[in-house]
Chain A
């Protein structure tokens, strides 16, 4: 069964038609990169997947539940679908360790000892065990983003959404974050949907590349075809040309 399935989805902000006729199926375990110019709707699309943005028409089935159905509790979906934001959104009033342990404790009721052990293990995985007792504000952007990834992983999600995870980072820190993401993509059966401009990452890690513009999906290819062949869509070719010459 598909992990995420959009069926004729329409999303409006007032009069503005933000997502147009979205049809998209992402299978469990796939790593999909979503690219496109700013304002193309890619962030909006990824934010609908865990119900942060409601959709107005169509069906959006995530982990077997339809988010368009008013009876669906988005919290049940969020337990299985983590999200990593451009600006990290770590809890400013909690230490690094508490950031990771909070949701498993109060949402999943995970026993304290097990919770702490797993949190420390995750910190080790992202290479930040020594920072456990610091506050987010004391860390660099790259470190904060790796903590945010650990925080999402602590919920043991089936799917992770990344909304421009490296766009707010200094160039030197981007690799640290991308490496953590690569490890997750390669070592686990996590479904990953990533909005990014990191073409190196897309080429190396993604199974599929989706190109969006003006609220529509214009191109949906395997990453080999997208990068080594030619996108069939003219607009996607233009975009790729510009982004790769940089």
Chain B
């Protein structure tokens, strides 16, 4: 393992950097888009609810790899060239946002309906009530399941390996075939993923305690 780090350290670090970059971009966008669709799922307007439902069901029920390949292979054929990194990141955003939407929706629905009713009776609009009263409470409930989604997202970024995204998993494959030391290589890769996911997992736990 040490020799792998010595010989391929910079390659691994580059892969770690790409994985981290992809994860951060995907996490931010998936959280925003997912929360948006979660809210659309509970608005009074039925048309918007249907749109949200369709989006979530489509991207939640198709494998991440299929979504990613669609952007990597199909879109460039007809529309525009997309790099492996970008197509993997877009795939990851769409896929993860569907799960995050479901998580956030369950949080919104676990807030006592009296909170929304109280706010509406008090003169707030639906959106004001969401923003000031319902969502802050919903996010407190969903921090633990959201943490799971974030960790899954980081691990799922390994889809980049299939589309030449130069992420950690991709570099691992390259190093393994170059060095012929598969076990040490994938152990290294595993350790580097842990370096990303363990702090995330501890941070979510800290948030959960802090807001409880």
Contact = CB atoms under 8 A, between A and B. Distances in A.
B122 interface: yes
A113 B115 CA distance: 26
A78 B121 contact: yes
A93 B137 contact: yes
B122 A93 contact: no
A151 interface: yes
A32 to B, nearest CB: 18
B114 interface: yes
A102 B132 CA distance: 9
Contact of A106 (B114, B117, B118, B124): B124
A72 interface: no
A91 B133 contact: yes
- Interface of A, secondary structure class, is loop
A52 interface: yes
A103 B123 contact: yes
Contacts, number: 62
- Interface of B, secondary structure class, is helix
B125 A91 contact: no
B119 interface: yes
B123 A89 contact: no
Best-surrounded residue of B114, B120, B123, B140 (most CB of chain A within 10 A): B123
Contacts of B76: none
Nearest to A100: B122
B120 A78 contact: yes
Contact of A85 (B114, B123, B136, B140): B114
Contacts of A103: 119, 122-124
Contacts of B112: 89, 92
B182 interface: no
Contacts of B117: 52, 85, 89
Given A102-B132, A106-B128, A92 B121 contact: no
A92 B112 CA distance: 10
Nearest to B139: A93
A89 B124 contact: no
A89 B132 contact: no
Interface in A57-98: 75, 78-79, 82-83, 85, 87-94
A50 B121 CA distance: 7
B126 to A, nearest CB: 9
A119 B112 CA distance: 25
Contact of A75 (B115, B125, B133): B125
Contact of A90 (B118, B120, B137, B140): B118
Contacts of A88: 114, 118
A106 B112 CA distance: 22
Interface string B93-110: 000000000000000000
Interface in A16-32: none
Contacts of B136: 93
A155 interface: yes
Contacts of B119: 91, 103
Given A52-B120, A93-B133, A152-B122, 19 more contacts: A50-B121, A75-B123, A78-B122, A79-B123, A82-B121, A83-B121, A83-B122, A85-B118, A87-B114, A88-B114, A90-B118, A92-B137, A102-B124, A103-B119, A103-B123, A106-B124, A107-B123, A107-B124, A108-B123
Interface of A: 50, 52, 75, 78-79, 82-83, 85, 87-94, 102-103, 106-108, 148, 151-152, 155
Interface of B: 112, 114-115, 117-125, 128, 132-133, 136-137, 140
25 contacts: A50-B121, A52-B117, A52-B120, A75-B123, A75-B125, A78-B121, A79-B123, A83-B122, A85-B114, A85-B118, A88-B118, A89-B112, A89-B114, A91-B115, A91-B119, A92-B115, A93-B137, A93-B140, A103-B119, A103-B122, A103-B124, A106-B132, A107-B122, A107-B123, A155-B122
